[in-house]
Amino acid sequence: MIEIRELSKAFGPIRAVDRLSFSLPRGEILGFLGPNGAGKTTTLRMVVGLLTPSAGRVIVNGHDAVCEPLAVKRLIGHLPEGTPLYADMTVSAFLRFVAHAKGLPSRLRAGAIDQALEECALTDIRHRLIRHLSKGYRQRVGLAQAVLGDPPVLILDEPTVGLDPRQIIDIRGLVRSWAGRRTVILSTHILPEVEATCTRVLIISRGRLRAEGTPAALGAQGGLEQAFLRAIGDIAEEAP
Amino acid sequence: MRWLPVFRREFGAAVTSPAHLLFAALFFALLGILFSDTLALFADASAGSQAALTRIQEQAGSTVLNVNDYLARNFFGIVLGLLIFAVPFFTMRLIAEERKLGTYDLLLSYPLREIDLLLGKFFAAWAAVCLILGLSVLYPLLMAWLSGGQIEVAPLVAGYLGLVCASAGFVAIGLLASSLTENQLVAGLLTLGLLLLGLLLGNLAPGESGWLSSTMQSLDLYERTEAFLSGVIRLADVMHFAFLTAAAIFLADKALIVRRLGVMR
């Protein structure tokens, strides 16, 4: 479903992403791990088409993200870093705007909005102003705009940052329920989150691919935490 | 028509936001204060005051008291002057705020191109400015009533057409400034600076002849609106503002694309 080939992005002399290649089959949930500043957000922005790669290609369901940006954007629901929303709108007015902007035909919009509200458990608060919502609810509104119109691919940039444990569990449950149905890339630096929700893991550091596999395979030697530290090269001196 | 959802959201936000409503109130308060001076002078002159007539003569260069030539002409001049200060306020947040809040990334993750975003924003801000212009029609109606219907309608239509054309150009320049920075204040001041510079361009021209002077004089915003406001529609003036608008939106699109190419973070 998603294929990344030799993807690179340089900001002046800084190589934020360096010849990154991986592919993700349909229905998999990928945990995209790395320390802060590893190039996670930069990579996701290139997949969505918000940033043009310096080199390499992003192919989503056969469409190139640079040559056919609109075709790729139609396949993707995106939750940007920090969950930006229009605080001065109500939840349902915001989702109506999103449905229109995503180009859904007007007769399908009301149904798609109801479905997204239900999926993210927002039906009861649909008439509230987004500015009056708690952080957990805002996050769910962010997820609702991403799943609106039922895109086959979801790109979520740190969807659980700043939430309380109860809210984190809710969102994990939601993401798990998509397995097999949607192809998801979830960026995070919270390791238990990956073990709880993802079918595959990819660890990057300084823009480069460091490790790839299933959570079980990567965690076989001393757990995922050790695998993470090994991958980013922090325990090299401790190894016998 | 991919820009339509952006237009609808933006226009809805513009007409309901308290800041904009407050600003519209301020606009009409200033317009009322400034216009009542002109009206009082005209009324004194009409009543036979020689001092008032002399002042009008100095300003307009004519001793004939005519509602269109003096009252309407001055009214349009005041509105144009206020627009130069009002437009930056309306346009400074258009793109800059979206970028600051991160909603810019949200918008562009939908199947929209940069130009769709810009067109939606441009038409929304232009419509919001035109709405204020539409409400100001109250003044020509007042003039018609006070003068007992002795006012010609055609020059008023030309004047309004001039204001609508000029505001398209002003809004497009504001949109361009807002595309260049994440800082609203910088965008607003840049717009105000460009508009004031445009207004003074003819006066800054070096000498009377030469290509540089004639170019500067023909780009002068005052020069380009003068004919409209005195009731003359010139195709060249309409084209001037159409071209100015298109060029500013084109450059704004290029500025956003350069940002997507991400040469710098």
Which two tokens mark A232?
């980013």
Q: Hey, which residues 16-35 in chain A have their CB within 8 Å of chain B?
A: 16
Question: What does each C-alpha distance from B265 to A13, A18, A24, B116, B256 come to in angstroms?
Answer: 11, 16, 28, 23, 13
Rounded to whole angstroms, how far apart are CA atoms A174 and A29?
12
Mean pLDDT of chain B: 88
Which two tokens mark A145?
């705009």
Comparing C-alpha atoms, which of B228, B128, B126, A188 is closest to residue A175?
A188
B18 touches chain A (CB under 8 A): no
Task: Please give the pLDDT value at position A239.
Answer: 40
Question: What does each C-alpha distance from B35 to B42, B151, B200, B264 come to in angstroms?
Answer: 11, 17, 23, 49
Cβ within 8 Å of residue B150, ≥6 positions away: B67
Query: What average pLDDT does range A94-104 have in this prediction?
Result: 95
What's the first-to-final CA gap in chain A, in angstroms? 41
Partner residue facing A73 (CB), from B4, B111, B264: B111
Q: Is the dihedral of CA A149, A153, A154, A157 positive or negative?
A: negative
Rounded to whole angstroms, how far apart are CA atoms B121 and B156?
28
pLDDT at B264 over 70: no
Backbone phi and psi for residue A17, each to the nearest 5 degrees, phi listed first: -130, 135
Cβ(A21)–Cβ(A6) below 8 Å? yes
* CA A8, chain centre distance (Å): 19
In tens, the pLDDT along B134-193 reads: 999 998 888 888 778 778 888 889 999 999 999 999 999 999 999 999 999 999 999 999
Strand partners, A64: A59
Which two tokens mark B237?
């003036």
B188 to chain A, minimum CA–CA distance in Å?
22
In chain A, what residues touch B262 (CB-CB under 8 Å)? 9, 11, 51-52
A:B CB pairs within 8 Å: 72
Rounded to whole angstroms, how far apart are CA atoms A211 and A228?
8
In tens, the pLDDT along B58-115 reads: 776 666 667 777 788 888 889 999 999 999 988 999 999 999 999 999 999 999 999 9
